[in-house]
Amino acid sequence: MQIIRAKDYEDMSRKAANIISAQILMKPDCVLGLATGSTPIGAYAQLVKRCQKGDLDFSKITTVNLDEYKGLDRDNEQSYYYFMNQNLFGKVNIDLSRTFLPDGTESDSDKACRDYDKIIEEAGGADLQLLGLGHNGHIGFNEPGDEFVAKTHCVDLTESTIKANQRFFASIDEVPKQAYTMGIQTIMQAKKILVVVSGADKAAIVKEAFFGRITPKVQASVLQLHRDVILVADEAALSEI
């Protein structure tokens, strides 16, 4: 694993954007695996800037995102598609028909998951997979458990996640109770993995995930077995290693 130390969030975002830009320049028709969450927002903003300046071309890129809430359509402001559209897709010259996320509107979970695996397989898998890191070591919605789940699957959100999300919705009934997420095997099949982490609150989990035991209790620890992982983290996130 390669660790790139950044000064702060801005620096981490620039460094992560450099790696994604290099991937796009080297292979203009590559498949990018993308993440939502707060950590990659700065990197996406950098990519948007570079594209708008004419330095980066997304026209031949395919994207596959890690996850989506079950039950939310693309126009729902809490959906991950909406997030991607706001932060990246809507601001660069990407062909929207080649931007993929699990279909949150598909109520048949097995079908949604099978369809998504097929999309990823037909795209040839991710050349570069971007990942954020959850405080409990989750990647995508692969939460701590007794196993690593290989393929796209439907997860029940924990009571605390549902409660935390409640503030974004009119009532608790509208908060999604489940999500679809890419599985660990699919993530591990990406040719290159870029993990972005920022902040002192992630320092303990960075140490555990990348230097601790490999265990499904810390799902990101499996990344230690991948042969091309780059961790771009700021000093605060790296303060315990």
Kindly list the residues in this chain that would bind ligand F6R in the complex (CB under 6 A).
35-39, 66-67, 132-134, 138-140
In the bound complex, what is the minimum distance in angstroms from residue 178's beta carbon to ligand F6R? 14
CA distance 80 to 85: 8
State which amino acid sits at residue 141: F
From the list 117, 143, 208, 234, the catalytic residue is: 143
In the bound complex, what is the minimum distance in angstroms from residue 35's beta carbon to ligand F6R? 4
CA distance 194 to 17: 10
The closest residue (CB) to ligand F6R is 132
In the bound complex, what is the minimum distance in angstroms from residue 134's beta carbon to ligand F6R? 4
CA distance 191 to 126: 7
Residue 29 annotated as catalytic:
no
From the list 87, 138, 142, 234, the catalytic residue is: 138
Kindly tell me which of 60 and 123 has the beta carbon lying closer to ligand F6R: 123
229 alpha-carbon distance from chain centroid: 14
CA distance 128 to 34: 9
From the list 10, 11, 85, 136, the catalytic residue is: 136
CA distance 57 to 54: 7
Distances (CA, A) of 224 to 51, 197, 230: 33, 16, 11
Kindly tell me which of 94 and 195 has the beta carbon lying closer to ligand F6R: 195
Question: Count of residues for the chain?
Answer: 241
Kindly tell me which of 24 and 195 has the beta carbon lying closer to ligand F6R: 195
Residue 136 annotated as catalytic:
yes
From the list 67, 68, 117, 234, the catalytic residue is: 67
Kindly tell me which of 60 and 162 has the beta carbon lying closer to ligand F6R: 162
User: Cα(first)–Cα(last) distance of the chain, in Å?
Assistant: 14
What b/e sequence results for 139-177 when a residue is b if at least 16 CB atoms lie within 10 Å of its CB, and e otherwise? bbbbbeeeebbebbbbbebeeebbeebeeeeeeeeebbb
Query: Do the Cβ atoms of 81 and 51 come closer than 8 Å?
Result: no
In the bound complex, what is the minimum distance in angstroms from residue 179's beta carbon to ligand F6R? 9
Kindly tell me which of 1 and 57 has the beta carbon lying closer to ligand F6R: 1
The helix/strand/coil state of 74 is: coil
In the bound complex, what is the minimum distance in angstroms from residue 53's beta carbon to ligand F6R? 26
Which sequence positions are flagged as catalytic?
A: 67, 136, 138, 143
